[in-house]
Amino acid sequence: MLLPGTQLPDAAGIAERLRLMVEDLSIPATAGATIRPTVSIGVAASGTGSPSLDKLLAHADQAMYQAKRRGRNRVSTEAEPA
């Protein structure tokens, strides 16, 4: 998700609300089982420059893997160096 003009803490808050919404899902499956999905989200913000989209997505991807390493089902942030 791209959030132009959004500061990193605000973007992290939006990601956290999304994570909680996914965590609250209960998806019926076969044989009476229920699927309870979770999501790990990486959030990145551009510094004072204008990074390429590829670079910004790479930072968000790194933050997502950091969230997974820290136990999954969480939001992790990574600000691009200015």
* pLDDT tens, residue by residue, 21-78: 999 999 999 998 999 999 999 999 887 667 788 988 999 999 999 999 999 999 999 8
Handedness of CA 50, 51, 52, 54 (dihedral sign): negative
Q: Is 75 exposed, middle or buried (0-12, 13-18, 19+ CB in 10 A)?
A: buried
> Taking the model in full, what pTM does it have?
0.85
What residues does 27 pair with on adjacent strands?
Answer: 35
